[in-house]
Chain A
């Protein structure tokens, strides 16, 4: 499986504050990478560094095997972007957007755009600036899916959507990734969305990646265990992902429950639990 996006040892700081530390993960073709983290954890900064809206301090970012996106702008034809707070021109209607984007994207597919606008039931003659947050997200997603992109970078794109719209959007994303050579990196606070469509999980906390794993593997092999200090010393250090202390006990996230010493009971994990644990663990 080739990688659409490769991030290696990405580092960024603002003044003294380090906001990204050695961030590394890939988005393989055919994958939907769920990018999870608290507000301010570094998700949007990672995306901005990938899109070269900000300069990275060190590390490499390769899109479709190439670096320097600002010099290889043609690559952006293959990237669909939906950002929470980075939006389409507010005074334009959907009709006008179509007329503009056909000039901006060589690969613009007006029929696909029209189809998505219909599916999402968006008004064609209203200014997009007057749209609700959910409608804004839907029109941004429609644009991202209408220029034959291969990689979607979606930052909180399902936020503000009502349940039926979310279903529609997730279905469209699912269909998109089934196409040959396509992939998605999706940040979201809505764990049910990530659990439903992601194939890979990347969790970031305070600018550091705390988990980077295939989702199925996480649910198959990972587990929480509650241990006292003595039991903790018996544990194979290689399988410890993170631990948290609760009084005399430790809750430990392990990467392979098969390697637990006998007598230690593994607890099943949920998406919500693993997210909360890894975005706030010591």
Chain B
């Protein structure tokens, strides 16, 4: 119940931005797919999947901005301290943050998949669900890792330094996971190849599972930091 209250607070704090960014990201995604179709371009060093991959990245990234803005809004109003005066355990506060962030990623995933599906119908392009799922999984994992880096740092260094932390937190996983193909190659090599996994089907799920594990580990670290933190 308390977690719901905190998640609702977070939602009310940013729902206008969330809607605005959703509209913006869908528009940019559409443009990206349309331009890609017209010009037949691809940007392999930035993102795999050409226009569709780029569209997914726009949606996923833009849907994260409002959630990451939360910390700034809270620090500015003093709510980050006020929340500690409520009858809520510190661990519930941390969990609600992680839950809200996770829900934002889910919204991004659904919005990405839905948008790509509709745009491919509109522009009469081919829709390969396995590819789309893999691109979305890569970006979802990237954002999970970004969150896993950002939240413990925010709790440790304070919400006042949120801008720098968010930039670092987003850039590090995006650069490292842009080489996600290497993870796939690893799975195809011995000894993991002996599992005979159908990577075209399972790779996105394995990737997501890894991301979620990192995210949960980060939550435990954040819980530890937050439980010891002083709010002067």
Contact = CB atoms under 8 A, between A and B. Distances in A.
B228 to A, nearest CB: 8
Interface in A121-142: 129
A104 B231 contact: no
Interface string A239-282: 00000000000000000000000000000000000000000000
A100 B5 contact: yes
Interface in A37-94: 48, 51-55, 70, 73-77, 79, 81, 83, 85-92
Contact of B77 (A51, A53, A101, A129): A129
Given A91-B14, A100-B9, A104-B2, A51 B232 contact: no
A234 B141 CA distance: 80
Give the one of B8, B73, B85, B231 with max A CB within 10 A. B85
Given A54-B232, A103-B5, A90 B89 contact: no
Given A53-B230, A101-B5, A92 B12 contact: yes
B121 interface: no
B45 interface: no
A92 B85 contact: no
A105 interface: yes
Contacts, number: 93
B87 A74 contact: yes
A99 interface: yes
B87 A73 contact: yes
B81 A86 contact: yes
A96 interface: yes
Interface residues of B, number: 30
Contacts of B106: none
B76 interface: yes
A88 B5 CA distance: 14
Contact of A53 (B13, B16, B79, B84): B84
A83 B230 contact: no
B184 interface: no
A79 B5 contact: no
Given A100-B5, A100-B9, A103-B5, A85 B231 contact: no
Given A87-B77, A92-B13, A105-B87, A48 B232 contact: yes
Contacts of B1: 103
7 cross-chain pairs, A with B, having the tightest CB-CB distances, nearest first: A103-B5, A90-B77, A76-B87, A81-B85, A104-B5, A53-B231, A91-B13
9 contacts: A53-B85, A83-B78, A86-B79, A88-B79, A89-B9, A92-B12, A103-B8, A104-B87, A105-B87
